[in-house]
Chain A
Amino acid sequence: MSAIHTLDVSGTAKTPFHRLVRVELRKSYDTRAGFWLLLSIALIVLAAEIIVLAVTTVQDEAIAFGDFIGVAAFLTSFLLPVLGIMVLTTEWSQRSAMVTFSLEPRRPLVIAAKALVGVLLTLATVAIAIGIGAVCTLLYRLIEGHADWTFGWPDMFAFLLTQVLAMLGGFALAALLLNTPAAIVAFFVYKWVLPPLFFAGAALMGWFDSLRPWIDFQSSQEAIWDWSSSGEDWAQLVVSGIVWLVIPLAIGIRRVLRAEVK
Protein backbone atom coordinates (compact mmCIF):
# COMPACT_ATOMS: atom_id res chain seq x y z
CA MET A 1 0.00 0.00 0.00
CA SER A 2 1.45 3.33 -1.02
CA ALA A 3 1.88 6.20 1.40
CA ILE A 4 -0.92 8.18 -0.14
CA HIS A 5 -3.35 5.41 0.77
CA THR A 6 -2.65 5.49 4.47
CA LEU A 7 -4.17 7.83 6.95
CA ASP A 8 -1.77 9.57 9.29
CA VAL A 9 -3.52 9.64 12.63
CA SER A 10 -0.45 10.21 14.78
CA GLY A 11 -1.25 13.92 15.13
CA THR A 12 -4.78 13.34 16.39
CA ALA A 13 -5.45 12.96 20.09
CA LYS A 14 -8.14 10.60 21.31
CA THR A 15 -11.33 12.31 22.36
CA PRO A 16 -10.81 13.12 26.07
CA PHE A 17 -13.38 11.78 28.53
CA HIS A 18 -14.30 15.23 29.89
CA ARG A 19 -15.43 16.28 26.43
CA LEU A 20 -17.71 13.23 26.18
CA VAL A 21 -19.16 14.11 29.60
CA ARG A 22 -19.74 17.70 28.48
CA VAL A 23 -21.54 16.54 25.35
CA GLU A 24 -23.67 14.03 27.25
CA LEU A 25 -24.54 16.62 29.89
CA ARG A 26 -25.65 19.01 27.17
CA LYS A 27 -27.73 16.28 25.53
CA SER A 28 -29.61 15.80 28.82
CA TYR A 29 -31.20 19.24 28.66
CA ASP A 30 -31.05 20.43 25.04
CA THR A 31 -34.34 18.79 24.06
CA ARG A 32 -37.78 19.69 25.35
CA ALA A 33 -38.24 16.25 26.91
CA GLY A 34 -34.94 16.43 28.76
CA PHE A 35 -35.37 20.05 29.80
CA TRP A 36 -38.86 19.53 31.18
CA LEU A 37 -37.91 16.34 32.98
CA LEU A 38 -35.16 18.20 34.85
CA LEU A 39 -37.36 21.20 35.54
CA SER A 40 -40.26 18.95 36.62
CA ILE A 41 -38.06 17.23 39.18
CA ALA A 42 -37.25 20.60 40.75
CA LEU A 43 -40.85 21.86 40.51
CA ILE A 44 -42.41 18.68 41.94
CA VAL A 45 -40.02 18.75 44.90
CA LEU A 46 -40.76 22.46 45.40
CA ALA A 47 -44.55 21.95 45.21
CA ALA A 48 -44.49 19.03 47.66
CA GLU A 49 -42.36 20.92 50.16
CA ILE A 50 -44.69 23.92 50.01
CA ILE A 51 -47.68 21.65 50.71
CA VAL A 52 -45.88 20.02 53.63
CA LEU A 53 -44.92 23.45 54.97
CA ALA A 54 -48.48 24.75 54.62
CA VAL A 55 -50.03 21.72 56.33
CA THR A 56 -47.57 21.65 59.23
CA THR A 57 -47.80 25.38 59.95
CA VAL A 58 -51.61 25.48 59.68
CA GLN A 59 -51.95 22.53 62.06
CA ASP A 60 -49.11 23.68 64.29
CA GLU A 61 -47.27 20.41 63.89
CA ALA A 62 -43.60 19.95 64.57
CA ILE A 63 -41.36 19.28 61.57
CA ALA A 64 -37.60 19.06 61.25
CA PHE A 65 -35.22 19.95 58.42
CA GLY A 66 -34.66 16.22 58.00
CA ASP A 67 -38.38 15.66 57.41
CA PHE A 68 -38.34 18.08 54.50
CA ILE A 69 -35.40 16.16 53.08
CA GLY A 70 -37.35 12.93 53.61
CA VAL A 71 -40.20 14.26 51.47
CA ALA A 72 -37.75 15.27 48.75
CA ALA A 73 -35.99 11.90 48.94
CA PHE A 74 -39.29 10.06 48.55
CA LEU A 75 -40.16 12.01 45.39
CA THR A 76 -36.75 12.05 43.76
CA SER A 77 -36.32 8.32 44.42
CA PHE A 78 -38.69 7.66 41.55
CA LEU A 79 -38.04 10.75 39.43
CA LEU A 80 -34.27 10.29 39.26
CA PRO A 81 -34.49 6.72 37.91
CA VAL A 82 -36.61 8.07 35.05
CA LEU A 83 -33.76 10.51 34.43
CA GLY A 84 -31.26 7.64 34.54
CA ILE A 85 -33.41 5.75 32.03
CA MET A 86 -33.84 8.70 29.64
CA VAL A 87 -30.14 9.55 29.62
CA LEU A 88 -29.48 6.19 28.01
CA THR A 89 -32.60 5.13 26.10
CA THR A 90 -33.22 8.31 24.08
CA GLU A 91 -30.13 7.45 22.03
CA TRP A 92 -31.90 4.29 20.92
CA SER A 93 -35.44 5.57 20.51
CA GLN A 94 -34.14 8.56 18.53
CA ARG A 95 -31.48 6.45 16.79
CA SER A 96 -28.83 9.08 17.48
CA ALA A 97 -26.64 6.30 18.91
CA MET A 98 -25.54 5.78 15.30
CA VAL A 99 -23.93 9.22 15.29
CA THR A 100 -22.69 9.03 18.87
CA PHE A 101 -20.91 5.74 18.30
CA SER A 102 -19.51 6.82 14.91
CA LEU A 103 -17.89 9.80 16.58
CA GLU A 104 -16.70 7.76 19.55
CA PRO A 105 -16.36 4.04 18.79
CA ARG A 106 -15.13 3.37 22.34
CA ARG A 107 -18.64 2.62 23.53
CA PRO A 108 -17.77 1.89 27.20
CA LEU A 109 -16.54 5.49 27.51
CA VAL A 110 -19.79 6.85 26.12
CA ILE A 111 -21.78 4.75 28.59
CA ALA A 112 -19.50 5.81 31.44
CA ALA A 113 -19.96 9.47 30.42
CA LYS A 114 -23.73 8.99 30.46
CA ALA A 115 -23.64 7.32 33.89
CA LEU A 116 -21.48 10.17 35.19
CA VAL A 117 -23.95 12.71 33.82
CA GLY A 118 -26.71 10.84 35.67
CA VAL A 119 -24.66 11.08 38.88
CA LEU A 120 -23.92 14.79 38.33
CA LEU A 121 -27.59 15.56 37.76
CA THR A 122 -28.44 13.52 40.86
CA LEU A 123 -25.97 15.60 42.88
CA ALA A 124 -27.56 18.76 41.52
CA THR A 125 -31.03 17.46 42.41
CA VAL A 126 -29.89 16.59 45.92
CA ALA A 127 -28.36 20.04 46.32
CA ILE A 128 -31.56 21.70 45.11
CA ALA A 129 -33.68 19.49 47.41
CA ILE A 130 -31.49 20.38 50.40
CA GLY A 131 -31.72 24.06 49.42
CA ILE A 132 -35.52 23.92 49.18
CA GLY A 133 -35.64 22.00 52.49
CA ALA A 134 -33.50 24.66 54.16
CA VAL A 135 -35.66 27.50 52.85
CA CYS A 136 -38.81 25.67 54.03
CA THR A 137 -37.31 25.11 57.48
CA LEU A 138 -36.41 28.78 57.60
CA LEU A 139 -39.97 29.76 56.64
CA TYR A 140 -41.29 27.35 59.28
CA ARG A 141 -39.13 29.16 61.82
CA LEU A 142 -40.45 32.54 60.73
CA ILE A 143 -44.04 31.35 60.99
CA GLU A 144 -43.81 29.15 64.09
CA GLY A 145 -40.99 30.93 65.88
CA HIS A 146 -38.85 27.82 66.28
CA ALA A 147 -37.22 25.23 64.00
CA ASP A 148 -35.63 21.83 64.30
CA TRP A 149 -32.51 21.66 62.19
CA THR A 150 -31.84 18.00 62.97
CA PHE A 151 -30.12 16.67 59.88
CA GLY A 152 -26.54 15.57 60.20
CA TRP A 153 -23.81 14.73 57.75
CA PRO A 154 -24.63 11.01 57.94
CA ASP A 155 -28.18 11.77 56.82
CA MET A 156 -26.89 14.01 54.08
CA PHE A 157 -24.59 11.24 52.92
CA ALA A 158 -27.38 8.65 53.11
CA PHE A 159 -29.70 10.93 51.11
CA LEU A 160 -27.07 11.37 48.45
CA LEU A 161 -26.12 7.70 48.25
CA THR A 162 -29.68 6.37 48.11
CA GLN A 163 -30.54 8.85 45.34
CA VAL A 164 -27.48 7.87 43.31
CA LEU A 165 -28.41 4.20 43.74
CA ALA A 166 -31.99 4.96 42.67
CA MET A 167 -30.75 6.74 39.54
CA LEU A 168 -28.33 3.92 38.75
CA GLY A 169 -31.17 1.41 39.22
CA GLY A 170 -33.02 3.13 36.38
CA PHE A 171 -29.82 3.35 34.34
CA ALA A 172 -29.18 -0.39 34.76
CA LEU A 173 -32.70 -1.31 33.63
CA ALA A 174 -32.32 1.10 30.69
CA ALA A 175 -29.07 -0.58 29.64
CA LEU A 176 -30.78 -3.95 29.88
CA LEU A 177 -33.88 -3.00 27.88
CA LEU A 178 -32.70 -0.04 25.70
CA ASN A 179 -36.28 1.15 25.45
CA THR A 180 -37.78 4.06 27.38
CA PRO A 181 -41.33 2.79 28.09
CA ALA A 182 -40.18 -0.75 28.83
CA ALA A 183 -37.49 0.47 31.22
CA ILE A 184 -39.90 2.82 33.04
CA VAL A 185 -42.51 0.09 33.39
CA ALA A 186 -39.87 -2.35 34.61
CA PHE A 187 -38.66 0.23 37.11
CA PHE A 188 -42.11 0.83 38.57
CA VAL A 189 -42.74 -2.89 38.83
CA TYR A 190 -39.48 -3.12 40.76
CA LYS A 191 -40.41 -0.09 42.88
CA TRP A 192 -44.07 -0.74 43.64
CA VAL A 193 -45.06 -4.31 42.70
CA LEU A 194 -42.08 -6.24 44.05
CA PRO A 195 -42.09 -5.00 47.70
CA PRO A 196 -45.61 -6.32 48.49
CA LEU A 197 -44.76 -9.57 46.70
CA PHE A 198 -41.57 -9.85 48.75
CA PHE A 199 -43.59 -9.12 51.87
CA ALA A 200 -46.27 -11.69 51.07
CA GLY A 201 -43.69 -14.29 50.06
CA ALA A 202 -41.77 -13.76 53.28
CA ALA A 203 -44.96 -14.07 55.35
CA LEU A 204 -46.05 -17.28 53.66
CA MET A 205 -42.76 -19.14 53.21
CA GLY A 206 -40.18 -19.48 55.94
CA TRP A 207 -37.27 -20.06 53.58
CA PHE A 208 -38.14 -16.96 51.58
CA ASP A 209 -38.25 -14.91 54.76
CA SER A 210 -34.59 -15.66 55.35
CA LEU A 211 -33.69 -15.19 51.67
CA ARG A 212 -35.58 -11.92 51.19
CA PRO A 213 -33.11 -9.52 52.90
CA TRP A 214 -30.46 -10.70 50.48
CA ILE A 215 -32.46 -9.94 47.35
CA ASP A 216 -34.65 -7.00 48.44
CA PHE A 217 -32.48 -4.06 47.40
CA GLN A 218 -35.01 -1.45 48.47
CA SER A 219 -35.39 -2.56 52.06
CA SER A 220 -31.68 -3.35 52.39
CA GLN A 221 -30.94 0.30 51.52
CA GLU A 222 -32.32 1.23 54.93
CA ALA A 223 -28.92 0.22 56.25
CA ILE A 224 -27.54 3.39 54.66
CA TRP A 225 -29.82 5.62 56.75
CA ASP A 226 -29.14 3.70 59.93
CA TRP A 227 -25.51 3.92 60.94
CA SER A 228 -25.90 1.36 63.70
CA SER A 229 -26.44 -1.29 61.03
CA SER A 230 -24.66 -4.57 61.52
CA GLY A 231 -22.15 -6.14 59.21
CA GLU A 232 -24.86 -8.47 57.99
CA ASP A 233 -27.04 -5.51 57.00
CA TRP A 234 -24.23 -4.11 54.89
CA ALA A 235 -23.56 -7.53 53.38
CA GLN A 236 -27.24 -7.76 52.43
CA LEU A 237 -27.03 -4.32 50.82
CA VAL A 238 -24.04 -5.41 48.75
CA VAL A 239 -25.58 -8.73 47.70
CA SER A 240 -28.99 -7.27 46.79
CA GLY A 241 -27.16 -4.42 45.02
CA ILE A 242 -25.33 -6.97 42.90
CA VAL A 243 -28.65 -8.58 42.01
CA TRP A 244 -30.45 -5.34 41.06
CA LEU A 245 -27.64 -3.07 39.89
CA VAL A 246 -24.50 -4.90 38.90
CA ILE A 247 -26.02 -7.87 37.06
CA PRO A 248 -28.49 -5.88 34.90
CA LEU A 249 -25.83 -3.26 34.25
CA ALA A 250 -23.25 -5.88 33.25
CA ILE A 251 -25.67 -7.69 30.92
CA GLY A 252 -26.91 -4.36 29.55
CA ILE A 253 -23.44 -2.97 28.87
CA ARG A 254 -22.41 -6.22 27.25
CA ARG A 255 -25.46 -5.88 25.05
CA VAL A 256 -24.71 -2.26 24.13
CA LEU A 257 -21.11 -3.11 23.30
CA ARG A 258 -22.10 -5.92 20.96
CA ALA A 259 -25.27 -4.44 19.60
CA GLU A 260 -25.63 -3.53 16.00
CA VAL A 261 -26.54 0.13 16.24
CA LYS A 262 -29.46 0.82 13.94
Chain B
Amino acid sequence: MIEVQGLTRTYGTFTAVDNISFSCVPGTVTGFLGPNGAGKTTTMRVMVGLTPASSGKVTIGGHLYKDIPNPGRHVGVLLDASAQHAGRTGREILELGATTMGLPSSRVDEMLELVSLTPTEAKRRLRNYSLGMKQRLGIAHALLGDPSVLILDEPANGLDPAGIRWMRGLLKGYAERGGTVLLSSHLLHEVEQIADEMILIGNGKIVAQGDKKTLLAGAAAKGGGVHSYATALDNAALAAALTAKGITVAGAGDGLRIEAESVEVGRAALEAGVVLTDLRGGEGGLEDLFLELTAETQREAIS
Protein backbone atom coordinates (compact mmCIF):
# COMPACT_ATOMS: atom_id res chain seq x y z
CA MET B 1 0.00 0.00 0.00
CA ILE B 2 2.81 2.38 0.91
CA GLU B 3 5.68 1.99 -1.56
CA VAL B 4 8.95 3.75 -0.87
CA GLN B 5 11.19 3.50 -3.90
CA GLY B 6 14.83 4.54 -3.81
CA LEU B 7 14.07 7.52 -1.61
CA THR B 8 16.90 9.95 -0.92
CA ARG B 9 16.73 13.31 0.80
CA THR B 10 19.81 15.45 1.20
CA TYR B 11 20.35 18.76 2.97
CA GLY B 12 23.46 20.26 1.44
CA THR B 13 26.15 17.69 2.07
CA PHE B 14 24.13 15.89 4.76
CA THR B 15 22.14 12.88 3.63
CA ALA B 16 19.13 12.46 5.90
CA VAL B 17 17.63 9.56 3.96
CA ASP B 18 19.89 7.48 1.77
CA ASN B 19 18.30 5.49 -1.03
CA ILE B 20 15.77 3.51 0.99
CA SER B 21 13.05 1.24 -0.35
CA PHE B 22 10.36 -0.65 1.50
CA SER B 23 6.66 -1.29 1.37
CA CYS B 24 3.80 -1.59 3.82
CA VAL B 25 1.06 -4.11 3.19
CA PRO B 26 -2.66 -3.79 4.03
CA GLY B 27 -3.68 -5.66 7.14
CA THR B 28 -0.34 -5.18 8.84
CA VAL B 29 1.35 -2.82 11.22
CA THR B 30 4.82 -1.82 10.08
CA GLY B 31 7.18 -0.50 12.72
CA PHE B 32 9.73 2.04 11.60
CA LEU B 33 12.54 1.91 14.11
CA GLY B 34 15.66 3.90 14.53
CA PRO B 35 17.50 6.17 16.92
CA ASN B 36 16.86 9.90 16.98
CA GLY B 37 17.90 11.56 13.74
CA ALA B 38 18.01 8.32 11.75
CA GLY B 39 15.71 9.67 9.04
CA LYS B 40 12.32 8.30 10.14
CA THR B 41 10.56 11.63 10.31
CA THR B 42 12.08 12.89 7.06
CA THR B 43 10.86 9.73 5.30
CA MET B 44 7.35 10.18 6.68
CA ARG B 45 7.31 13.85 5.74
CA VAL B 46 8.23 12.97 2.16
CA MET B 47 5.38 10.43 2.15
CA VAL B 48 2.79 13.15 2.72
CA GLY B 49 4.44 15.75 0.51
CA LEU B 50 5.62 18.11 3.22
CA THR B 51 9.25 17.59 2.26
CA PRO B 52 10.26 17.16 -1.38
CA ALA B 53 12.38 14.11 -2.14
CA SER B 54 15.85 14.69 -3.56
CA SER B 55 15.39 11.52 -5.60
CA GLY B 56 13.16 8.47 -5.56
CA LYS B 57 9.49 8.57 -4.66
CA VAL B 58 6.79 7.35 -2.35
CA THR B 59 3.41 6.21 -3.56
CA ILE B 60 0.40 5.38 -1.43
CA GLY B 61 -1.93 2.90 -3.08
CA GLY B 62 -0.25 3.70 -6.37
CA HIS B 63 -0.67 7.48 -6.09
CA LEU B 64 1.63 10.28 -5.13
CA TYR B 65 0.18 11.83 -1.97
CA LYS B 66 -0.42 15.15 -3.69
CA ASP B 67 -2.55 13.42 -6.33
CA ILE B 68 -4.95 11.90 -3.80
CA PRO B 69 -8.16 13.96 -3.72
CA ASN B 70 -9.22 15.00 -0.22
CA PRO B 71 -6.28 12.98 1.16
CA GLY B 72 -7.54 13.04 4.75
CA ARG B 73 -10.25 10.59 3.68
CA HIS B 74 -7.66 8.03 2.56
CA VAL B 75 -4.52 8.61 4.58
CA GLY B 76 -4.51 9.50 8.25
CA VAL B 77 -1.42 11.45 9.22
CA LEU B 78 0.07 12.30 12.60
CA LEU B 79 3.55 13.73 12.29
CA ASP B 80 3.75 16.04 15.28
CA ALA B 81 0.98 16.26 17.86
CA SER B 82 2.22 19.68 18.94
CA ALA B 83 2.03 21.16 15.45
CA GLN B 84 -1.35 22.77 16.04
CA HIS B 85 -2.34 26.26 17.09
CA ALA B 86 -1.84 26.27 20.87
CA GLY B 87 -4.75 28.66 21.29
CA ARG B 88 -7.37 26.37 19.76
CA THR B 89 -9.40 23.95 21.78
CA GLY B 90 -9.01 20.25 21.07
CA ARG B 91 -12.53 20.14 19.73
CA GLU B 92 -11.99 23.13 17.45
CA ILE B 93 -8.90 21.47 15.95
CA LEU B 94 -10.97 18.40 15.07
CA GLU B 95 -13.84 20.57 13.80
CA LEU B 96 -11.47 22.34 11.39
CA GLY B 97 -10.18 18.99 10.16
CA ALA B 98 -13.70 17.61 9.75
CA THR B 99 -14.84 20.72 7.86
CA THR B 100 -11.87 20.53 5.51
CA MET B 101 -12.65 16.88 4.79
CA GLY B 102 -16.37 17.58 4.44
CA LEU B 103 -17.41 15.50 7.46
CA PRO B 104 -20.26 16.20 9.87
CA SER B 105 -19.65 17.47 13.38
CA SER B 106 -20.89 14.17 14.79
CA ARG B 107 -17.69 12.56 13.52
CA VAL B 108 -15.75 14.82 15.89
CA ASP B 109 -17.75 13.52 18.86
CA GLU B 110 -17.14 9.93 17.76
CA MET B 111 -13.39 10.48 17.53
CA LEU B 112 -13.20 12.28 20.88
CA GLU B 113 -14.95 9.32 22.44
CA LEU B 114 -12.69 6.85 20.65
CA VAL B 115 -9.54 8.44 22.06
CA SER B 116 -11.17 8.95 25.50
CA LEU B 117 -10.97 12.72 25.60
CA THR B 118 -13.85 13.97 27.75
CA PRO B 119 -16.04 16.89 26.62
CA THR B 120 -14.42 19.06 29.32
CA GLU B 121 -10.95 18.17 28.08
CA ALA B 122 -12.01 18.82 24.50
CA LYS B 123 -12.99 22.37 25.49
CA ARG B 124 -9.52 23.13 26.85
CA ARG B 125 -6.96 24.87 24.69
CA LEU B 126 -4.11 22.81 23.29
CA ARG B 127 -1.48 24.72 25.29
CA ASN B 128 -3.02 23.22 28.44
CA TYR B 129 -2.78 19.66 27.12
CA SER B 130 -0.22 17.15 28.34
CA LEU B 131 1.83 15.43 25.65
CA GLY B 132 -0.27 12.29 26.10
CA MET B 133 -3.49 14.25 25.53
CA LYS B 134 -1.99 15.89 22.44
CA GLN B 135 -1.10 12.43 21.11
CA ARG B 136 -4.67 11.23 21.68
CA LEU B 137 -6.00 14.29 19.90
CA GLY B 138 -3.51 13.75 17.06
CA ILE B 139 -4.63 10.12 16.69
CA ALA B 140 -8.26 11.29 16.67
CA HIS B 141 -7.35 13.80 13.94
CA ALA B 142 -5.61 11.12 11.89
CA LEU B 143 -8.65 8.81 12.16
CA LEU B 144 -11.25 11.52 11.41
CA GLY B 145 -11.61 10.76 7.73
CA ASP B 146 -11.85 6.98 8.26
CA PRO B 147 -8.69 6.44 6.21
CA SER B 148 -7.37 3.09 5.01
CA VAL B 149 -3.74 4.06 5.60
CA LEU B 150 -2.25 5.48 8.79
CA ILE B 151 1.11 7.21 9.01
CA LEU B 152 2.05 7.97 12.61
CA ASP B 153 5.33 9.46 13.78
CA GLU B 154 6.16 8.48 17.38
CA PRO B 155 2.50 8.13 18.36
CA ALA B 156 3.28 6.48 21.69
CA ASN B 157 5.54 9.31 22.77
CA GLY B 158 4.14 10.81 25.96
CA LEU B 159 1.43 8.20 26.47
CA ASP B 160 1.27 6.51 29.84
CA PRO B 161 1.53 2.67 29.99
CA ALA B 162 -2.27 2.33 29.87
CA GLY B 163 -2.33 4.71 26.90
CA ILE B 164 0.31 2.70 25.08
CA ARG B 165 -1.67 -0.48 25.64
CA TRP B 166 -4.83 1.25 24.41
CA MET B 167 -3.07 2.47 21.27
CA ARG B 168 -1.61 -0.95 20.61
CA GLY B 169 -5.10 -2.45 20.70
CA LEU B 170 -6.51 0.31 18.53
CA LEU B 171 -3.88 -0.08 15.81
CA LYS B 172 -3.99 -3.88 15.90
CA GLY B 173 -7.74 -3.78 15.41
CA TYR B 174 -7.37 -1.24 12.65
CA ALA B 175 -4.89 -3.46 10.81
CA GLU B 176 -7.07 -6.55 11.32
CA ARG B 177 -9.89 -4.74 9.53
CA GLY B 178 -7.57 -4.37 6.54
CA GLY B 179 -5.92 -1.07 7.29
CA THR B 180 -2.27 -0.30 6.62
CA VAL B 181 -0.32 1.17 9.50
CA LEU B 182 3.16 2.64 9.50
CA LEU B 183 4.35 3.88 12.84
CA SER B 184 7.76 5.06 13.89
CA SER B 185 9.49 4.82 17.21
CA HIS B 186 12.93 4.96 18.72
CA LEU B 187 11.89 2.44 21.36
CA LEU B 188 12.19 -1.20 20.38
CA HIS B 189 9.87 -2.49 23.10
CA GLU B 190 7.13 -0.14 21.98
CA VAL B 191 7.17 -1.50 18.46
CA GLU B 192 8.00 -5.19 18.71
CA GLN B 193 4.75 -6.04 20.49
CA ILE B 194 2.57 -4.48 17.86
CA ALA B 195 4.43 -4.52 14.57
CA ASP B 196 4.07 -7.39 12.13
CA GLU B 197 6.94 -6.03 10.12
CA MET B 198 9.86 -3.99 11.31
CA ILE B 199 12.14 -1.70 9.39
CA LEU B 200 15.30 -0.69 11.18
CA ILE B 201 16.87 2.52 9.99
CA GLY B 202 20.13 4.10 11.03
CA ASN B 203 22.07 6.94 9.49
CA GLY B 204 19.46 7.28 6.75
CA LYS B 205 19.88 3.69 5.57
CA ILE B 206 17.75 0.64 6.18
CA VAL B 207 19.91 -1.73 8.20
CA ALA B 208 17.45 -4.60 8.59
CA GLN B 209 13.85 -5.40 7.85
CA GLY B 210 11.43 -8.25 8.27
CA ASP B 211 9.26 -9.76 10.96
CA LYS B 212 10.57 -10.37 14.43
CA LYS B 213 11.56 -13.98 13.71
CA THR B 214 13.54 -13.07 10.62
CA LEU B 215 15.30 -10.29 12.45
CA LEU B 216 16.16 -12.56 15.37
CA ALA B 217 17.45 -15.24 13.02
CA GLY B 218 19.53 -12.55 11.37
CA ALA B 219 20.81 -11.51 14.77
CA ALA B 220 21.78 -15.07 15.61
CA ALA B 221 23.53 -15.51 12.29
CA LYS B 222 25.48 -12.34 12.90
CA GLY B 223 26.76 -13.85 16.14
CA GLY B 224 24.58 -11.63 18.26
CA GLY B 225 23.52 -14.89 19.83
CA VAL B 226 20.10 -16.16 20.75
CA HIS B 227 19.77 -16.65 24.43
CA SER B 228 17.20 -17.32 27.08
CA TYR B 229 16.72 -17.03 30.78
CA ALA B 230 15.67 -19.89 33.01
CA THR B 231 15.12 -20.51 36.67
CA ALA B 232 14.73 -24.03 38.02
CA LEU B 233 14.17 -25.56 41.46
CA ASP B 234 17.64 -26.99 41.03
CA ASN B 235 19.67 -24.53 39.03
CA ALA B 236 22.87 -26.50 39.39
CA ALA B 237 21.32 -29.65 37.89
CA LEU B 238 19.94 -27.68 34.95
CA ALA B 239 23.28 -25.99 34.36
CA ALA B 240 25.02 -29.36 34.40
CA ALA B 241 22.53 -30.84 31.93
CA LEU B 242 22.98 -27.93 29.56
CA THR B 243 26.74 -27.87 29.86
CA ALA B 244 26.74 -31.59 29.05
CA LYS B 245 25.02 -30.66 25.74
CA GLY B 246 27.76 -28.16 25.02
CA ILE B 247 25.64 -25.11 25.76
CA THR B 248 27.19 -22.14 27.52
CA VAL B 249 25.49 -21.25 30.80
CA ALA B 250 26.07 -18.36 33.14
CA GLY B 251 24.44 -17.29 36.37
CA ALA B 252 22.07 -14.38 36.13
CA GLY B 253 20.28 -13.21 39.26
CA ASP B 254 18.23 -16.04 40.72
CA GLY B 255 18.50 -18.04 37.51
CA LEU B 256 20.66 -18.78 34.49
CA ARG B 257 21.46 -17.06 31.24
CA ILE B 258 21.71 -19.69 28.54
CA GLU B 259 23.19 -19.24 25.08
CA ALA B 260 20.44 -21.23 23.36
CA GLU B 261 16.81 -20.95 22.38
CA SER B 262 14.28 -21.57 25.11
CA VAL B 263 13.15 -24.76 23.37
CA GLU B 264 16.62 -26.28 23.94
CA VAL B 265 16.48 -25.36 27.60
CA GLY B 266 13.04 -26.94 27.99
CA ARG B 267 14.22 -30.13 26.36
CA ALA B 268 17.29 -30.34 28.59
CA ALA B 269 15.17 -29.74 31.67
CA LEU B 270 12.74 -32.48 30.64
CA GLU B 271 15.53 -34.96 30.01
CA ALA B 272 17.25 -34.13 33.29
CA GLY B 273 13.97 -34.18 35.20
CA VAL B 274 14.48 -30.67 36.54
CA VAL B 275 11.43 -28.53 37.41
CA LEU B 276 11.52 -25.14 35.65
CA THR B 277 9.86 -22.23 37.41
CA ASP B 278 10.61 -19.62 34.78
CA LEU B 279 11.72 -19.80 31.18
CA ARG B 280 11.75 -17.07 28.60
CA GLY B 281 13.51 -16.20 25.41
CA GLY B 282 15.97 -13.36 25.73
CA GLU B 283 14.63 -10.29 23.97
CA GLY B 284 18.17 -9.04 24.14
CA GLY B 285 18.93 -10.56 20.76
CA LEU B 286 16.76 -8.05 19.04
CA GLU B 287 17.81 -5.21 21.24
CA ASP B 288 21.49 -6.00 20.72
CA LEU B 289 20.85 -6.16 17.00
CA PHE B 290 19.06 -2.85 17.06
CA LEU B 291 21.84 -1.14 18.97
CA GLU B 292 24.54 -2.76 16.91
CA LEU B 293 22.95 -2.01 13.55
CA THR B 294 22.34 1.57 14.41
CA ALA B 295 25.59 2.04 16.31
CA GLU B 296 26.97 4.60 13.91
CA THR B 297 24.19 7.02 14.69
CA GLN B 298 23.94 6.35 18.38
CA ARG B 299 24.89 9.28 20.49
CA GLU B 300 26.08 7.08 23.32
CA ALA B 301 28.76 4.44 23.02
CA ILE B 302 27.46 0.93 23.57
CA SER B 303 29.03 -0.67 26.59
List residues of chain A with CB under 8 Å of any chain B CB.
1, 4-9, 12-15, 19-20, 22-23, 26-27, 30-33, 90, 94-96, 98-99, 101-106, 258, 260-261
Contacts and interface: CB of A to CB of B under 8 A. Distances in A.
Given A7-B61, A12-B74, A260-B50, 16 more contacts: A5-B62, A7-B60, A7-B68, A15-B70, A15-B102, A27-B85, A30-B88, A31-B87, A94-B87, A98-B83, A99-B141, A102-B49, A102-B72, A105-B49, A260-B52, A261-B51
Given A7-B148, A99-B97, A101-B50, A33 B87 contact: yes
Contact of B96 (A27, A33, A101, A106): A27
Given A13-B70, A96-B85, A98-B79, A7 B149 contact: yes
B250 interface: no
A1 B60 CA distance: 12
Which of the listed residues B3, B26, B49, B100 has the most CB atoms from chain A within 10 Å of its own CB? B100
Contact of B68 (A9, A23, A32, A101): A9
Which of the listed residues B65, B69, B92, B101 has the most CB atoms from chain A within 10 Å of its own CB? B69
A99 B73 contact: no
Contact of B102 (A4, A19, A101): A19
Top 8 A-B pairs, shortest CB-CB distance: A7-B61, A31-B87, A95-B83, A105-B66, A94-B85, A14-B69, A6-B62, A98-B83
Nearest to A22: B99
Interface string B89-110: 0001001110111100000000
B99 A19 contact: yes
Contacts of A102: 48-50, 71-72, 77, 79
Contacts of B45: 260
Nearest to A106: B66
Contacts of B52: 258, 260
Contacts of B50: 98, 101-102, 260-261
A101 B77 CA distance: 11
Nearest to A32: B87
Nearest to A105: B66
Contacts of B275: none
Given A5-B26, A103-B97, A105-B49, A14 B70 contact: yes
7 contacts: A7-B68, A9-B61, A27-B96, A30-B92, A31-B88, A94-B83, A105-B48
Contact of A7 (B62, B70, B82, B95): B62
B84 interface: yes
B62 A1 contact: yes
B86 interface: yes
Nearest to B50: A261
Which of the listed residues A7, A9, A105 has the most CB atoms from chain B within 10 Å of its own CB? A7
Given A6-B62, A94-B84, A105-B49, A23 B96 contact: yes
A61 B68 CA distance: 64
A39 to B, nearest CB: 15
Which of the listed residues A22, A99, A106 has the most CB atoms from chain B within 10 Å of its own CB? A99
A98 B48 CA distance: 10
A23 B72 CA distance: 15
B80 interface: yes
A8 B69 CA distance: 11
Nearest to B95: A26
Contact of B71 (A32, A90, A105, A261): A105
Contacts of A105: 48-49, 65-66, 68, 71
A103 B69 contact: no
Given A5-B26, A94-B85, A12 B1 contact: no
Nearest to B66: A105
